[in-house]
Structure 1
């Protein structure tokens, strides 16, 4: 079978992103004040113990503030939030941006306004979906970073190999990719040496995705399948409260279909306590392969310890923001939009109470943690040399700093890791019953 090396062609990338929302900087009396931009980006400690500006400052101030919130030290909270407000800027360099977006979450945590703020930001984002601007954003992000295409290439390769020789295919797509990975797979199916198979694609989407966006995606996917000459059926499932509501009957799985379950950035959206049940539901579908891609961060084991959760959240998003800073030009609107999308995730993790039903949402776990869960129902599949070579070829398209880690066979973890400056940031894996 001939397989395309890279993820879907740029012109087929379809995704929506939120409106550009600026967090209004507030003084501690609740009044708006002009943002102060500082050219210095570092912090030191004076003889009096007060922070001064001349070393890397954002992480130190943010950690101090998180500890003060955990200890309910209102005086210190007030002082540190005021200082962060003076130094932070969503338009500055990396430290200033981290301070700005984490300040929003810390302020909401301290004032117990996280859920209200999150709902407001989400509502604003949902009203501003633009297909054209989203397409441009994805094109640019795919152009400068393999953050998402890494998972596309690895998953597509494993799915194509699992479907070898099958004539009736069904992919259950439970992901946040909005079909951006599938045009390449359609191309590969169209060039198979044997008869072109029939493909059914069932996409499970969240309520936040605007119906008009999915209609546009459906039309483009069907048009592209016709162009490729691949018999194609496209179905959308929405309106679910959680992934545990999915069933074989609801997904329309037929006994004569070769099934693949594709999960990219999806399992973290299931409640932590429900993840085992979701994985067992996948097992009931008797899939040929299950592909799982998740970002490498542990926000699960520390979710009852605010300081530890904050530390891991800060570690992960510092890597992400630094990657964006080095990948995009300073004036990039696309970079700003991606950062603001992250600001909602940071707020969701740190400032939305668990009982709200939002705090657990998108609770990330590391690859080793997902492996322990998945091994209860599936066996790990090593990516073939061909798939690994495809991923390596993909990474060569990007700037220096990106890498690939393939664990040794004796390693207890499975899958492969995308690294940024030798730090694992995205984990991809494949599983069989």
Structure 2
């Protein structure tokens, strides 16, 4: 086990740690150690590339059990990455906190443990439970989610035209926030509009953003909204979890499969940033190694099994939207590199339109910090943020006997029209059949549409 000492060697040259400040702004500006840069003398240490390299060196030190080096780098980062700085500093601060949390779990330094506890309490306070109005506003802040909503709705409307009943299975990180836009589109474009059957997986996991009402209450609000658009809607919640590949949901859908086929219902599987929470590993059965996991082959993974089960339902269309990044590496350093070079994007977008100190910015960046900490400080079943890039999901879908269908020009025009409501840095491009949201030319979120082969 890595042992973190209370002071840095050589002991005769370095004073004791300062007493632990309880205010997060004081915490990040704690007194520096002799021989290391101060906020006034960091120079190029404030450069994004340098901060990334410091984080990588710290991760390497943690993986190689070099407690002294890791603790030194953490202290340097503590002085050059304030939580209220520019976007690169705030990004680095998120990784600093995650590395402190990881170091506290594997070491014995009381200060690091106390710092990690302060940070955990701070993040818990920022883990806001949204009202419906707040969540709708949160989702509308950027195209991060709206891009997938717009592209998916356009593809689904084309696929279900002519059906009298449309059954939507919504696996969404945003608690059905896409559904009102779908209802609106359906009420104006399809005449007469079909009956909507909406099924959601009621998971008990607390993934942000979190909602302050139950799914049953949410369902009543959606039914009333559909009624206001002259659409009949049925809402069901199936208790099911991503931890087991939504097995309860799959079993329930299998029971309805033949009824749906006889009644000529369209079945829409809408997966919006939720499938990457399905584990792609099988946990070890050794009780002495609860954190150890063994990667299975692609054919045996829960993700593959879930997609093959969906294929067996013969859906009318499957929509898969997710973030285009790779957080699956077993190497801490590799995950850190990938996460740092992806998660700068939301921090950068915040600076383009949200003032410092705003509630919306606080909520948005707390959501990103939760993701960073999960990717960096956790292993085994606790590490649930396991994003895979578009290329990997495309291959998984093809292996499960789906074929991709392109988004129409009308769908892309709708996405572009939506992006006009946001900052100038956002864009959309087509990659073969897929649509990709970009920020300043960098891939952010992908949207894909699939039919059974």
TM-score range, shorter chain: 0.7 to 0.9
2:169 is the counterpart of 1:167: no
2:88 is the counterpart of 1:90: no
Cα distance in 1 for partners of 2:367, 2:140 equals 16
Q: Which moved further from structure 2: 112-121 or 164-173?
A: 112-121
Q: Which moved further from structure 2: 61-70 or 105-114?
A: 105-114
Could you say which residue in structure 1 is the equivalent of 2:437?
Answer: 418
2:425 is the counterpart of 1:398: no
Cα distance in 2 for partners of 1:121, 1:243 equals 31
Q: Is the 8 A contact 2:170 2:271 kept in 1?
A: yes
Could you say which residue in structure 1 is the equivalent of 2:387?
Answer: 364
TM-score (normalised: structure 1): 0.81
Q: Does the residue aligned with 2:143 lie in a helix, a strand or coil?
A: coil
Could you say which residue in structure 2 is the equivalent of 1:195?
Answer: 192
2:47 is the counterpart of 1:71: no
Could you say which residue in structure 1 is the equivalent of 2:229?
Answer: 228
Q: Which deviations, in whole Å up to 9, do the C-alpha atoms of 1:85-131 show, x marking residues without a partner?
A: 22332222223212221111111222326999799669946985241
Cα distance in 2 for partners of 1:293, 1:165 equals 25
Could you say which residue in structure 2 is the equivalent of 1:11?
Answer: none
Cα distance in 2 for partners of 1:398, 1:173 equals 26
Cα distance in 2 for partners of 1:305, 1:127 equals 28
Q: Does the residue aligned with 1:250 lie in a helix, a strand or coil?
A: helix
Change (3 A) 1:219 1:295: same
Q: Which residue of the other structure, out of 123, 134, 137, is the alignment partner of 1:136?
A: 134
Q: Is the 8 A contact 1:118 1:348 kept in 2?
A: no
2:324 is the counterpart of 1:324: no
Change (3 A) 1:239 1:283: closer
Alignment coverage as a number of residue pairs: 387
Q: Does the residue aligned with 1:63 lie in a helix, a strand or coil?
A: helix
Q: Is the 8 A contact 2:101 2:377 kept in 1?
A: yes
Q: Is the 8 A contact 2:267 2:316 kept in 1?
A: yes
TM-score (normalised: structure 2): 0.78
Could you say which residue in structure 2 is the equivalent of 1:313?
Answer: 339
Cα distance in 2 for partners of 1:157, 1:260 equals 13
Could you say which residue in structure 1 is the equivalent of 2:20?
Answer: 32
Change (3 A) 1:190 1:54: closer
Question: Relative contact order: is structure 1 or structure 2 higher (C-alpha 8 Å, sep ≥ 6)?
Answer: 1
Change (3 A) 1:27 1:312: farther
Could you say which residue in structure 2 is the equivalent of 1:23?
Answer: none
Could you say which residue in structure 1 is the equivalent of 2:270?
Answer: 262
Offset of residue 30 of structure 1: 9.1
Change (3 A) 1:54 1:276: closer
Q: Does the residue aligned with 2:70 lie in a helix, a strand or coil?
A: helix
Could you say which residue in structure 2 is the equivalent of 1:22?
Answer: none
2:323 is the counterpart of 1:295: yes
Q: Where do 5+ consecutive residues of structure 2 fail to align?
A: 1-5, 9-16, 31-35, 108-112, 281-300
Specify the structure having the higher radius of gyration (Cα). 2
Offset of residue 177 of structure 1: 2.0
2:182 is the counterpart of 1:185: yes
Q: Which deviations, in whole Å up to 9, do the C-alpha atoms of 1:211-259 show, x marking residues without a partner?
A: 8342332121011111111111011122534324145541345332210
Q: Which moved further from structure 2: 230-239 or 201-210?
A: 201-210
Q: Is the 8 A contact 2:46 2:80 kept in 1?
A: no
Offset of residue 178 of structure 1: 1.0
Cα distance in 2 for partners of 1:324, 1:214 equals 30
2:160 is the counterpart of 1:158: no
Could you say which residue in structure 1 is the equivalent of 2:403?
Answer: 379
Change (3 A) 1:260 1:52: closer
Q: Which deviations, in whole Å up to 9, do the C-alpha atoms of 1:277-334 show, x marking residues without a partner?
A: 010111122111000001010112xx21211111001111112211222231223221
Cα distance in 1 for partners of 2:228, 2:323 equals 34
Q: Is the 8 A contact 1:27 1:85 kept in 2?
A: no
